[in-house]
Amino acid sequence: MGQQTETHSSKSAKGTFLQELARQINESRKNPALKELESLERASVKDLVDGLVRFAYKSTASDIHIDPIEGGTVVRYRIDGILHDVLLLEPETHFKVVTRIKVLSELRTDEHYAPQDGRFRLIVDETPIDLRVSISPTFYGENTVLRLLIGEDDALALEDLGFSESDLGRIKRNIAKSYGMIVATGPTGAGKTTTLYALLDILNSRERSIVTIEDPIEYTVPGVTQIQINPRTDLTFAKGLRTIVRQDPNIIMVGEIRDEETASISVNAAMTGHLLLSTLHTNSASVTLPRLLDMGIEPFLIASTVNLAIGQRLVRRLCKECAQKNPISDIERETLQNFVSEEEVAGIKYSYTPKGCPACSQSGYTGRVGIYEVLELSENIKRLVMKRENATEIQKVAVEEGMTLMISDGIKKASEGLTSLAEVVRIIQE
């Protein structure tokens, strides 16, 4: 009896899940770029894979998720940071699609129980699209994620990323230095690598030797020596960085500081006459300094080498066609007072909210913009580092010296109609 109840409950849950999935897919088809996806259900495997990439590119998706589930495969696009269910495939199609992707990426087609990573290129409407591939075994089959890598022509200039004038001044002042570290911080998908590429674009000249070590190489930069890490040959960030410092570089970019060894070599490189750019996974700019302490870096080395820490997130831009301007509500004021001072909230008179229209596929948003905090290491901040003070004390002094907090930058952008207050709060709380 218990078994029958459990089986019935399981079937009921599965039915509800599939119904919700179908509803989400129908909702996603409101996006004009995704309306034609239904035709792929009857396409050949080659046309199916090509079509998934083509429609992802047209809908400005950053990632394609091909997720095996019980009874089929669901395809999802990440658009403006949000995942959308866009297609449901038959179970027998999944193996063929994954095999096709493995062939394009030159991965092992006979390996189904170990993770594999690769990349390939497709031409969409005469535009080359580079895709990074990650395949991982799961209960129902191999889960596959394709990251659409930005092309050289699509790379954003520093001024296009959403930095305030004061933050741009801090950044430009510090990239003009010939040594030290500039660290972009934030969670995965916060736009850290885009920020570093924008800095490289400014720094890139024939008078300088610039070497990068990345995982992956997001796009190629003419005149820059770029190295892709390769675990198969034991080429890690740390080992690659050791080689780079012997190659007479002026500027080094390390894709990510992941461990104590990489952190130590990076700091030493920054001390010996190199400008070093890198990323670190922390929640805010002020946490960067205690995080380096946790990784075994001595306080005097941090104070001597770190020039700048950039904390960042990406928020969705409001659609210009349908965003609604309203007087700020009491509930919005109350919510904001959990994050910033009453004085700051009092200065906000209006808020903008998403409505939805054909131009934004009824989502109310189109594209994304960064919100930032830029921490410059003043003498006062360096003294706090030497005392091993926590992030709260460091942030307090930085704000007193003029640093704008990420939440404040987001609220300012929301008050200007670039995004919504709800979107800023959502991203900060994630």
CA within 13 Å, CB half, 299: 11
Domain end residue (candidates: 150, 174, 195)? 150
Q: Specify whether 69 is located in the same domain as 204.
A: no
Residue 380 in any domain: the answer is: yes
**Domain boundaries, position 355:** 158-429
Which stretches of the chain drop beneath a pLDDT of 70? 1-15, 18, 28-36, 38, 150-155
Instruction: State the pLDDT at residue 359.
Output: 85
Q: Specify whether 118 is located in the same domain as 181.
A: no
Task: Please count the structural domains in the chain.
Answer: 2
Instruction: State the pLDDT at residue 151.
Output: 58
Q: Specify whether 289 is located in the same domain as 360.
A: yes
277: Cβ–Cβ under 8 A, 6 or more apart, which residues? 181, 182, 183, 184, 196, 199, 200, 251, 252, 253, 254
Q: Specify whether 378 is located in the same domain as 233.
A: yes
Residue 11 in any domain: the answer is: no
Q: Specify whether 181 is located in the same domain as 197.
A: yes
Residue 60 in any domain: the answer is: yes
Instruction: State the pLDDT at residue 5.
Output: 47
Residue 3 in any domain: the answer is: no
Domain end residue (candidates: 150, 181, 198)? 150
Q: Specify whether 75 is located in the same domain as 139.
A: yes
Q: Specify whether 124 is located in the same domain as 95.
A: yes
Task: Tell me the C-alpha distance between 167 and 170, whole Å.
Answer: 5
Q: CATH number, domain at 74?
A: 3.30.450.90
At 331, list the tokens.
């509930």
Instruction: State the pLDDT at residue 344.
Output: 86
Q: Please state whether 333 falls in left (phi above 0), alpha (psi between -120 and 50) or beta.
A: alpha
Residue 8 in any domain: the answer is: no
Q: C-alpha 164: how far from its chain's center?
A: 20
Instruction: State the pLDDT at residue 2.
Output: 47
Residue 10 in any domain: the answer is: no
Q: CATH number, domain at 358?
A: 3.40.50.300
Instruction: State the pLDDT at residue 1.
Output: 43
Q: How many CB atoms sit inside 10 A of residue 349's CB?
A: 8
Task: Tell me the C-alpha distance between 197 and 220, whole Å.
Answer: 10
Q: Specify whether 256 is located in the same domain as 339.
A: yes
Angle at alpha carbon of residue 58, lines to 190 and 418, rounded to 5°? 45
Residue 5 in any domain: the answer is: no
Which stretches does DSSP call E strand in 139-231? 141-149, 180-185, 210-214, 225-228
Instruction: State the pLDDT at residue 34.
Output: 65
192: Cβ–Cβ under 8 A, 6 or more apart, which residues? 184, 185, 186, 279, 312
Instruction: State the pLDDT at residue 12.
Output: 57
Instruction: State the pLDDT at residue 125.
Output: 81
> Which single residue is written with the structure tokens 């995942």?
83
Buried b vs exposed e over 379-396: b needs ≥16 C-beta within 10 Å? eebbebbeeebebeebbe
Instruction: State the pLDDT at residue 9.
Output: 54
Q: Specify whether 103 is located in the same domain as 198.
A: no
At 301, list the tokens.
């080395």
Residue 9 in any domain: the answer is: no
Q: Specify whether 232 is located in the same domain as 339.
A: yes
Domain end residue (candidates: 129, 150, 171)? 150
Task: Tell me the C-alpha distance between 110 and 95, whole Å.
Answer: 11
Q: Specify whether 90 is located in the same domain as 196.
A: no
Q: Specify whether 62 is located in the same domain as 210.
A: no
